[in-house]
A and B are shown apart, each in its own frame.
Chain A
Amino acid sequence: MNRKRTALAVAAAGTATGVVGLVLIASPAGAGEAPPALPDISAEALVQSVLDADAPAMAGAVELRNDLGLPLPGLPQGKPGEDVARIYADGQGRARLSLDEGGSERTIVHDGSTTWIWNSATRSVQKLEGGPDEERAERMADPATAARDFVALMQKDSTVTVDGTARVADRPAYQLVLTPKPTERTLLREVRIAVDSETRLPLRLDVLANGQAEPALRVGFTEFATGAQDAGLFSFTPPAGAKVTEGERGERPSKQERTDALEGLDLKHVGEGWDTVLTGKLPADALTRQAPENGRGDRGPATGLDLLKQVGKEVSGPFGSGYVVTTKVGTALVTTDGRVALGAVPQQVLVDALGQK
């Protein structure tokens, strides 16, 4: 009998320890912790300090959570708790960014004068003279840049408040909240930016949509440490046997071509602030052209129109007929004659914007 009791105790204790351990691993660090106590700060002073802050020497890991209901093109898909990028900076303009693209890796090293882009899937290196030609994916992967751009853009049309404090990447941070002014017709409820209390660097950007408790989009550091970094991180020597292409990005259209393409798109901003709508015209063959294969071998639907039929809903109105794609934070409308409108707004605003042209 005694032995049975010991055995039960052993089983219970061991299983409990293991399960508690697993739960601890599963729960994000700092959850359930009391928010740190920080001196009060006015919203204006906080915004100003964010815009003025210098990038310090730091190393960090970034998570990206996308609950939009649609994958974002060009952005790596992160699972909760999984880091998609690691960032290193020396505070003097040299930086290293590693993007984990599930199985392959892209490393972008900016050593002050040259930018190297390594892609492990093709074992190729691109060498660009001068500063990094920043792509959206690379900009978005850095929460600090993404958040700072956003604050600068949205300050005017928002109510900016400081909503207490939080612990992000194990650092005390202020919660800066930008709420659209009541006149703004948007799907977004608010954008929360966690600002590091010490360096005034944005540590996390949360986009919350109306009627959603969880952020629709979150870019943020999961690890963040300031301090001098190993200088070896900021230099890059192409490994033996790698294809090195210099200058312009090999497979991408040149700058001139890109400008032409952009002019062809006839992009216009209608409205400003939160209910900005981007309108434009697709190239004539965009809807009927075969979708290009995207390196990894998974093929989407055959043409743009097929894709729209799959994800969108058919609508018609004063603009003619088209397809509307709705996500939690935005809406896109593509008419059958190739006009496009998109924004973080309800469908009606898009229809109005198309009508204004």
Chain B
Amino acid sequence: MTAMTVPAPLTARRAPLPRLMRSELRMMLRRPRTLIGLGLLALVPVVAGIGIAIATDANSDEPMGQGLETLVAGNGLLLPVFALVVSLNMLLPLTGAMLAADALAGETAHGTLRNLLTAPVGRARLLAVKAFGVATVSLLATLLMAVTGTIAGILLLGGEGMLTSSGTQLPFLDGVGRVLLTVVLVTVQVWALAAVALAVSAWTEHPLIVVVVSLGLVIVSGVLSVIPALDWLDPVLITTSWQSVSDVVRDPLPTGSITEGLLRAACYIVIGYSLALSRILTRDG
């Protein structure tokens, strides 16, 4: 009998969450800029692979570049890891910020957010749908890069399995596991930046401001992290965990730094989404 007291009409008027998410995703993937962005990102590992293949053909004995780059030649499975780590410095955060800017500030600029706010969708649910869209497309971007990177790496650079920076040779499947782990770590870091960008996006009606603020955050964090007197600040900077992503090619896997990077990203995600939610809740229709 108590079940009858639930206000049935209200639940009926609410659109189901999965359907909202699907339509949001469809809308995002139909935007030309999203598609062009994804396509360009997918090309990054291919271009890097061609560059490295040509460079190593020219002089075979010289050590080239720094860090991961020295290991990529003749070590195809490392190419997607290398491309993802390099893109995490600027291209992927830029993508995350752009998606977050479109999600709320873009809608405000077009005057369409007003409709959404007055629609029979809870505001928390609206934010959840938007966050889902941003997160899924970022994941799609990194996955796409991993796929093109792996294919390009094997075709252009060859190599059996994966040579780790510790000098051990991982079997092919373990190598693919490391690539997937990189995808997860990089995606979570992009989510962290996108969460902050979404908070900015909820507060402004200019998508450009969102992108500028997010990239400003990345650049300022990068500058602060190289000042020795501010070393104590390092553990709270969003970019600190980005540098440790390349730890995935060490063997054995240093779990400590990897978990720390994930936790740091989670903190930023919580901060970003709670600020975004508070703004969405108070916003006038």
Question: Is B63 among interface residues, defined by CB-CB distance under 8 A?
Answer: yes
Q: B259-285: which residues lie under 8 A (CB-CB) from chain A?
A: 260, 263-264, 266-271, 273-275, 277-279, 281-282
In the assembly, what is the distance between CA of A234 and CA of B180, in Å? 27
Contacts of B160 in A (CB 8 A): 240
Partner of A120, one of B167, B169, B270: B167
Instruction: Say yes or no for A7: interface residue by CB 8 A criterion.
Output: yes
Q: CB distance A3 to B281 under 8 Å? A: yes
B263 to chain A: which residues have CB within 8 Å? 21, 25
By the criterion CB–CB under 8 Å, are B277 and A22 in contact? Answer: no
Contact with B along A59-103 (1 / 0, CB 8 A): 001000000000000000001110100100000000000100001
CB of A38 closer than 8 Å to a CB of B: no
**Chain A residues with CB under 8 A of B267:** 17-19, 21-22, 25
- B: number of interface residues (CB 8 Å): 41
Determine which of A6, A19, A240 lies in contact with B271 in the assembled complex, contact meaning CB atoms within 8 Å. Answer: A19
How many residue pairs bridge A and B at CB < 8 Å? Answer: 127
A310 to B211 CA separation, bound complex (whole angstroms): 43
A14 nearest CB neighbor, chain B only: B274
Q: Does A26 lie at the interface of the complex (its beta carbon under 8 Å from any beta carbon of B)?
A: yes
B49 within 8 Å of A (CB atoms): no
**Interface pair A233/B273, CB less than 8 Å apart:** no
> Contact string, A1-45, partner B, CB cutoff 8 A, digits 1/0?
001101110110111011101110110000000000000000000
Q: Which one of A7, A17, A237 contacts B281 once the chains associate, using CB atoms below 8 Å? A: A7
Interface-located stretch among A121-129, A199-207, A335-343: A121-129
Contacts of B269 in A (CB 8 A): 18
Chain A, interface size category, equals: 35 or more
Q: Confirm or deny: B18 has a beta carbon within 8 angstroms of a beta carbon on chain A.
A: no
Cα separation A206 to B266 with both chains bound (whole Å): 34
Interface pick from B96-104, B133-141, B212-220, B248-256: B248-256
Chain A: interface secondary structure? Answer: mixed
How near does chain B come to A168, taking the closest CB pair, in angstroms? Answer: 16
B63 lies within 8 A of A80 (CB): no
Question: Chain B CB within 10 Å — which of A11, A236, A240, A241 has the most?
Answer: A11
A120 touches B274 (CB 8 A): no
Given the complex, which residues of A lie within 8 Å of B257, measured CB to CB? 83
Which of B24-32, B113-121, B230-238 lies on the face that meets chain A? Answer: B230-238
A240 and B169 contacting across the interface, CB-CB below 8 Å: yes
B250 in contact with A98 (CB, 8 Å): yes
Contact with A along B61-72 (1 / 0, CB 8 A): 001001110110
Instruction: Tell me, in angstroms, the Cα distance from A86 to B257 when the chains sit together.
Output: 12
* Residue A105 at the chain B interface, CB threshold 8 Å: yes
Q: Given the known inter-chain contacts A8-B278, A10-B278, please indicate yes or no for A239 contacting B167, CB distance below 8 A.
A: yes
B169 cross-chain contacts in A, Cβ below 8 A: 237, 239-240
- The smallest C-beta distance from A61 to any residue of chain B, in angstroms, reads 6
Say whether A104 faces chain B, with CB atoms less than 8 Å apart: yes
Does B74 lie at the interface of the complex (its beta carbon under 8 Å from any beta carbon of A)? yes
Cβ–Cβ contact B236 & A123, under 8 A:
no
With A18-B268, A105-B250, A118-B166 in contact, is A25–B282 under 8 Å at CB?
A: no
Chain A residues in the interface with B (C-beta under 8 A): 3-4, 6-8, 10-11, 13-15, 17-19, 21-23, 25-26, 61, 79-81, 83, 86, 98, 103-105, 107, 116, 118, 120-123, 125, 222-223, 230, 233, 236-242, 296
Closest 5 CB pairs of A and B: A14-B274, A118-B167, A11-B278, A18-B271, A103-B67
Offer 5 A-B interface pairs, CB within 8 angstroms, sorted by A: A14-B271, A236-B167, A239-B169, A240-B169, A241-B163
